[in-house]
Structure formats: C-alpha cells, structure tokens
C-alpha cells in the first residue's frame, strides 16, 4: 500500500527536531524506518508530519564516558555490532545485535529506533535491562533520563511522549569477572525471537556471585527473570546448579499465544534457553 501524504522534515540537530515535534499535534519520528515505514505503508499510522532524525550527527556514534558507554540512538545496528568499544565493554549487545534481522536491515535500523519501538520480540531491550542502562530523552521541557526498567511500559509503548526524542543510551560496563550470552530461538534464520534470553553472570570461587537474566517475548514488555536471578545468587557454578534455577525462568511472565507458539511452549522455551544462556555466560 501507499502511505497517506505527510510533510517531511529531515532534521540536522536535536533542537530542530524537538522544535518541529513541538510545533505539530500529529508528528512522528523516523529513525532507520525498518519498523515505521511498514507501519506507514499499512496506514496503521497517518501522521501529518514525519521528522527524520536518522542523520542527526549528535545522535550517532559510540563513546566512552568513565564506567559507561554512551551510544547515540541513531547508531545503526551494523555500527553497534562492529564498534570496538561495544565489543570490548558490552559484548552482550554486540552478540544480540548480530542476531537482528539481516545485513540490509542492520545497515538502516538503529539501536534507539528498536528501543523506541518497544516490540516485545525485539532482541535489544533485554540487553539494556541486563546492563542497567539509562535512556536520555530530549523534549520541549529539556533533557531527562529514564532507567531501562521504567522505559518499557507496555506493548509498543515506552516512557517517551509524542514530542520527545530518545537521543542516547548510557550503558554501564559490566567489568571484569562478568560473562555474558544472548540465546535466541526463532523458527527461521534472520527473524524475531519466539523467545530470547540475555544473561550476564559474575563468577566467584566456583560459585555464581550475581546473575542478571532478561527475557524477550515473554510478555507485553521485556522482563527480568527475578526468581531465576535470586536462585542463581550463591549457587554452585555447575550444570546442575544452573538447571534448577532455570526451571523458575517463566515465573511471573505472561507470554502470548500466536502463530509461532502457544504460551505454554514459550514457558518451556524460557526455561531451556535460560539454562543455555546462563551456562554459556558462566563458562560452564
């Protein structure tokens, strides 16, 4: 289908984009367009103004800021997964991003666009939960920050207001002693997760000192598997220790039933994939 007609502004700065958003009652932001352009073509959205921020220089790139990485929201998936700082300090993000779609989509789609879209099947929000990331948001009232835990509100819904931009993501480094792994299950290659698990584990003397586990597609938003995390803290770093804790992975989740699988199948997958992800992250 052909989209409804709309005004188009290619912004050069954050200030220009925010001012355009504030000046319209019916504007939408365009990032890499990999999710939004199909939405326009299906006429699921018919905004009067589209503000393209994909080439705003201050919203692109990766830099180090003390104990964190700051990633511009419009940094493409391709740039993120090949960035040396990301590979060194946030390998979980690099490996999860490598599972996103195909090279064409990864060359246009962006880290911030994927987070702002808040698809529960997206592979990247779970990584921000595991890292304890903070989103930087700019709107007509100025700049504010929101933790990843508070950013994802519901299905395709975030803490962003219609006149606000996600400009960057601050990702604390996990540091020495942590191992990480992203485990994804999909029906065909280069597709969204039926279920995915992002895991980070800190080992200490044959035991698991701390574990962070986030689930993809186990509810209307991404979730931390807190029962599993609690059971892993202090557990033996053995296959048996990890297996017991993984059996709790579906606690507190509310997965959907759809053409890719029923809810109870997703619960089963969450346990199996958590076992694999935590084992790999712990180097067992």
At 74, list the tokens.
Answer: 């419009």
Which C-beta is closer to ligand FAD: that of 90 or that of 248? 90
Triad 272, 279, 198: Cα angle to 5°: 70
- Considering the complex, what minimum distance in angstroms separates the CB of residue 202 from ligand FAD? 26
Triad 185, 190, 198: Cα angle to 5°: 40
- Considering the complex, what minimum distance in angstroms separates the CB of residue 162 from ligand FAD? 9
- Considering the complex, what minimum distance in angstroms separates the CB of residue 137 from ligand FAD? 8
**Distance separating alpha carbons of residues 173 and 263, to the nearest angstrom:** 34
**Distance separating alpha carbons of residues 136 and 43, to the nearest angstrom:** 30
- Considering the complex, what minimum distance in angstroms separates the CB of residue 123 from ligand FAD? 4
Q: β-strands 178-185, 195-204: how paired?
A: antiparallel
Which C-beta is closer to ligand FAD: that of 138 or that of 235? 138
Which residues lie below 8 Å from residue 217, measured CB to CB, with a gap of 6+?
120, 121, 192, 193, 194, 195, 196, 255, 256, 266
Which C-beta is closer to ligand FAD: that of 126 or that of 241? 126
- Considering the complex, what minimum distance in angstroms separates the CB of residue 78 from ligand FAD? 11
Cα–Cα distance list, 230 to 218, 224, 249 (Å): 19, 11, 11
Which C-beta is closer to ligand FAD: that of 47 or that of 241? 47
The H-or-E segment that residue 172 falls in is strand 165-172
Which C-beta is closer to ligand FAD: that of 87 or that of 108? 108
Cα–Cα distance list, 266 to 94, 185, 199, 253, 270 (Å): 25, 10, 17, 10, 6
**Distance separating alpha carbons of residues 90 and 53, to the nearest angstrom:** 25
Residues lying near ligand FAD in the complex (CB under 6 A) are found at 28-36, 53, 73, 100-101, 105, 109-110, 112-114, 116-117, 122-124, 160, 165-166, 191-192
- Which of these, 34, 118, 21, lies nearest to 76 by C-alpha position? 34
Which C-beta is closer to ligand FAD: that of 221 or that of 232? 221
Residue 89 burial (C-beta neighbours within 10 Å; 0-12, 13-18, 19+): buried
- Considering the complex, what minimum distance in angstroms separates the CB of residue 82 from ligand FAD? 16
Answer for the pair 248, 233: CB distance below 8 angstroms, yes or no: no
Which C-beta is closer to ligand FAD: that of 93 or that of 249? 93
Which C-beta is closer to ligand FAD: that of 103 or that of 175? 103
């Amino acid at each position: 289908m052909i989209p409804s007609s709309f005004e188009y502004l290619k912004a050069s700065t954050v200030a220009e984009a925010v001012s355009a958003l504030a000046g319209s009652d019916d504007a939408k932001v365009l990032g890499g367009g990999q999710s939004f352009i199909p939405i326009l073509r299906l006429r699921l959205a018919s905004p009067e103004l589209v503000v393209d921020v994909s080439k705003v220089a201050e919203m692109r790139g990766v830099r180090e800021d003390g104990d964190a990485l700051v990633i511009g929201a419009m940094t493409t998936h391709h740039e993120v997964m090949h960035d040396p700082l990301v590979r060194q300090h946030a390998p979980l993000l690099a490996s999860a991003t490598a599972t996103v779609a195909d090279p064409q989509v990864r060359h246009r789609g962006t880290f911030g666009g994927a987070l702002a879209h808040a698809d529960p099947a997206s592979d990247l929000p779970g990584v921000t939960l595991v890292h304890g990331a903070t989103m930087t948001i700019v709107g007509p009232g100025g700049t504010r920050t929101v933790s990843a835990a508070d950013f994802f509100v519901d299905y395709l819904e975030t803490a962003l207001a219609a006149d606000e931009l996600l400009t960057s993501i601050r990702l604390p480094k996990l540091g020495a002693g942590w191992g990480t792994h992203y485990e994804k299950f999909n029906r065909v290659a280069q597709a969204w997760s039926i279920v995915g698990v992002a895991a980070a584990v800190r080992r200490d003397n044959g035991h698991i000192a701390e574990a962070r586990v986030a689930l993809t597609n186990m509810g209307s938003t991404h979730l931390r598997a807190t029962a599993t995390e609690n059971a892993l803290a202090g557990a033996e770093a053995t296959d048996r220790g990890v297996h017991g804790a993984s059996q709790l992975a579906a606690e507190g989740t509310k997965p959907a039933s759809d053409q890719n699988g029923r809810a109870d199948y997703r619960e089963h997958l969450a346990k199996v994939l958590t076992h694999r992800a935590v084992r790999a992250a712990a180097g067992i």
